[in-house]
Amino acid sequence: MSTVEEVVRSTLKEVLESKGTSGDIVLEEESPLADVGLDSLDWAVVVISLEQRLGVDPFSQQTEYDIPNTIREFIYFYVHSVTNANSQR
Amino acid sequence: MLFDIATKHQRASQEAECVICRGERWSYGKVHTWAKALSAFLQDRGVTRVAFYIANSPKLIALLLAADRIGLEAVLLHREFPLDEVHRYLFDLDIETCLTDANVDEGPRLVAVPEYETLVSNPLWPETFEYAQSSSKVLLLTTGTTGRPKTVVHSWASLAGPIRREESYRDSRWLLAYDLTRFAGIQVFLQAFVNGGVICIPAGRTVGEVIDTMLRERISHVSATPTFWWRLLFESSRKLRQALPLVQLTLGGEAAPQTLLDALRSNFPQARITHTYASTEAGFCFASSDGIEGYSLEVLENNLRRVRIRIVNGELWISSPYAMQGYFGSSLHQEEWTATGDLVEVKKGRLIILGRAGDCINVGGNKVFPTQVEGEIRRVAGVRDVRAYGQRSSLVGQVVKAEVVPENGVDTAKLKEEILHYCRQRLQPYQVPRIIEFVEHIPISDGGKVVRRD
């Protein structure tokens, strides 16, 4: 089973590829989300795909974590959300 | 009034064909006789409101005539409603008698329709029985693709008011592609019936079965939804289409896009092609036969049918003498103006129907009309059918999602790229479908329209 991090990364890669950007793009941990090359609608698609794959949408619920600004924060945003969801089951 | 029309036609000719259903031919004389017998049967039940839960058939037509003759309110329930929903309507609308052709246990409310032979050979009332002056009404359910349908009260006069009466229509042979329990089905029925034409009920719902009926019965007039016409074009061969002796094609129930009007024109060059605007509540409103999307404002302003329009915040409002009397349960005082729920714009002197307000997709505050997105996607080779709707998004409200039925054997990965490429050239970024899924079929409501909901 793939980890949350892998799922987030591959989803980002897919959406980038669908825009014609090279899939080999390196998603640096510290890259600001603003520099990844996705517009707000692309991010919306990323979030929808991740909800389908991980069963959570951390943007739709209150969270103690700040809204992410970098790739690393984005990944951990999902990791926390999945962990929370699992602990509540 | 409906019964009187039948009386007139059967006097002119007993044998003239009225309804054709699965090879059975019913003349105006026979339908009239059955309606007389049924009106006595209904009178015997002693009710003022009656429901019909019956599939398209001569039976249903005879019952409509019968109910009209004795001034009943006839409630039309779509035969595909599940039984518990039927019971809910019977309860909500306070109906004691519901005639049905469904194979269910008869009860105090559900009653089987007596067959022609049984009833006519053993009449309940003498021929000369005096019936009350007709105050008959028709209660129709709206075909909205969302929410619970509303019950709309019409009179036969308001329904038949805008029907074109022409001598040449006497020879018209109409395909009943809609359900008779729906406003559109009633319109087609009246268009044929008022003029003494023939109503043909297709043997089934597949394109193959419908075309079979059209060829066998030499159908000259067809009125159907754009969804139906797309299916007909996609699922039949050009050779077969050329064999259809069509004189008149009518599109209604949904906005008719230019791409479809063009495709029909090139496939049926000899036919008159008309797109109409109507709703269950507002009644028949207007029609255009110039092959151009939308409706010329100039023509609308000189409308002989006295239908007036007004645009309020982008929504079309209608004032029409053919509108409903009101919703069931509310006061039947007729409002002058009816909101249609359709969003419109005026472009180059024409009124363009953009789509249902409820179908409109809100992408980060931008309005997107599914029909526009679908229209572009349809132009891509390899696309057989499509629907677009809003996929909920926590970030931007909604994003446009498209479901596409590909042609057989098409490489879907490549098709997806082509659709995106084409849409990016033709549409604003927020209109481009961000999610594309390939599916086997597109869901259609029982009113024959595309369901644009998740």
Rounded average pLDDT over B38-60: 92
CA within 13 Å, CB half, B192: 30
Residue B399, chain A, CB below 8 Å: the answer is yes
Q: Tell me what pLDDT residue A66 has.
A: 76
What distance in Å separates residue A10's CA from the closest CA in chain B?
A: 16
Residue B434, chain A, CB below 8 Å: the answer is yes
Q: Tell me what pLDDT residue A31 has.
A: 81
Residue A62, chain B, CB below 8 Å: the answer is no
DSSP H or E segment with residue B110: strand B110-112
CA–CA separation, A23 and A14 (whole Å): 7
CA–CA separation, B399 and B395 (whole Å): 9
Q: Tell me what pLDDT residue B146 has.
A: 57
Do B144 and B241 form a contact (C-beta atoms < 8 A)?
no
CB atoms within 10 A of CB B354: 22
Do B366 and B398 form a contact (C-beta atoms < 8 A)?
no
Instruction: Supply angle C-alpha B406, B411, B416, rounded to 5.
Output: 70
Residue (of A22, A21, A16) closest to A42 by Cα position: A16
CA–CA separation, A32 and A24 (whole Å): 18
Of the partner residues A18, A39, A44, the one whose CB lies closest to the CB of residue B393:
A44
Reported confidence tier of residue B145, pLDDT bands at 50, 70, 90 = low
Reported confidence tier of residue B101, pLDDT bands at 50, 70, 90 = very high
Q: Is B251 exposed, middle or buried (0-12, 13-18, 19+ CB in 10 A)?
A: buried
Q: Tell me what pLDDT residue B258 has.
A: 87
Find the range with the poorest average confidence among A46-55, A78-87, B34-43, B331-340: B331-340
Q: Tell me what pLDDT residue A24 has.
A: 59
Q: Tell me what pLDDT residue B86 has.
A: 92
CA–CA separation, B298 and B315 (whole Å): 19
Rounded average pLDDT over B372-400: 91
Reported confidence tier of residue B127, pLDDT bands at 50, 70, 90 = low
| pLDDT beyond 60 at A72 | yes
The type of residue at B237 is S
Rounded average pLDDT over B140-154: 79
Do B26 and B58 form a contact (C-beta atoms < 8 A)?
yes
Residue A69, chain B, CB below 8 Å: the answer is no
Find the range with the poorest average confidence among A4-8, A28-32, A71-75, B198-202: A28-32
Residue (of B150, B390, B389) closest to B282 by Cα position: B150
| pLDDT beyond 80 at B448 | no
Q: Tell me what pLDDT residue B334 has.
A: 65
Reported confidence tier of residue B20, pLDDT bands at 50, 70, 90 = very high
**Contact between A18 and B420 using a beta-carbon 8 Å cutoff:** yes
Do B438 and B406 form a contact (C-beta atoms < 8 A)?
yes
Rounded average pLDDT over B232-258: 89
Find the range with the poorest average confidence among A32-46, B55-69, B174-188: A32-46
Calculate the CA A75 to chain-centre distance: 5
Return left, alpha or beta for B364; rule: phi > 0 is left, psi -120 to 50 is alpha, else beta: left
Q: Tell me what pLDDT residue B454 has.
A: 56
Reported confidence tier of residue A84, pLDDT bands at 50, 70, 90 = confident
Task: Give this prediction's pTM.
Answer: 0.82
CB atoms within 10 A of CB B244: 19
Reported confidence tier of residue B167, pLDDT bands at 50, 70, 90 = confident
Do B203 and B56 form a contact (C-beta atoms < 8 A)?
no
The type of residue at B381 is A
Rounded average pLDDT over B58-81: 94
Do B108 and B98 form a contact (C-beta atoms < 8 A)?
no
| pLDDT beyond 60 at A1 | no
Mean pLDDT over the full length of chain B = 89
CB neighbour list of residue B122: distance below 8 Å, 6 or more residues apart: none
User: Tokens 């909800």, residue?
Assistant: A51
Residue (of B171, B194, B185) closest to B9 by Cα position: B194
CA–CA separation, B386 and B384 (whole Å): 7
Residue B395, chain A, CB below 8 Å: the answer is yes
Q: Where do runs of H (alpha helix) occur along B200-340?
A: 207-216, 226-234, 238-242, 258-267, 297-301
**Contact between A47 and B394 using a beta-carbon 8 Å cutoff:** yes
For a pLDDT cut of 70, what percent of chain B falls above it? Answer: 94
CA–CA separation, B420 and B181 (whole Å): 40
| pLDDT beyond 70 at B138 | yes
Rounded average pLDDT over B372-391: 92
Q: Tell me what pLDDT residue B32 has.
A: 95
What is the largest distance, in Å, between two alpha-carbon atoms of chain A?
A: 39
Contacts of B395 in chain A (CB under 8 A): 40, 43-44, 47, 59
Reported confidence tier of residue B305, pLDDT bands at 50, 70, 90 = low
Of the partner residues A18, A39, A47, the one whose CB lies closest to the CB of residue B393:
A47
| pLDDT beyond 60 at B133 | no
CA–CA separation, B100 and B104 (whole Å): 9
| pLDDT beyond 70 at B304 | no
Q: Tell me what pLDDT residue B126 has.
A: 59
CA–CA separation, B162 and B141 (whole Å): 20
CB atoms within 10 A of CB B134: 18
Residue B360, chain A, CB below 8 Å: the answer is no
For a pLDDT cut of 70, what percent of chain A falls above it? Answer: 90
Q: Torsion angle, CA of B293/B294/B297/B303, rounded to 10 degrees?
A: 110
- Cα distances (angstroms) measured from residue A33 to each of A40, B353, B398: 11, 40, 21
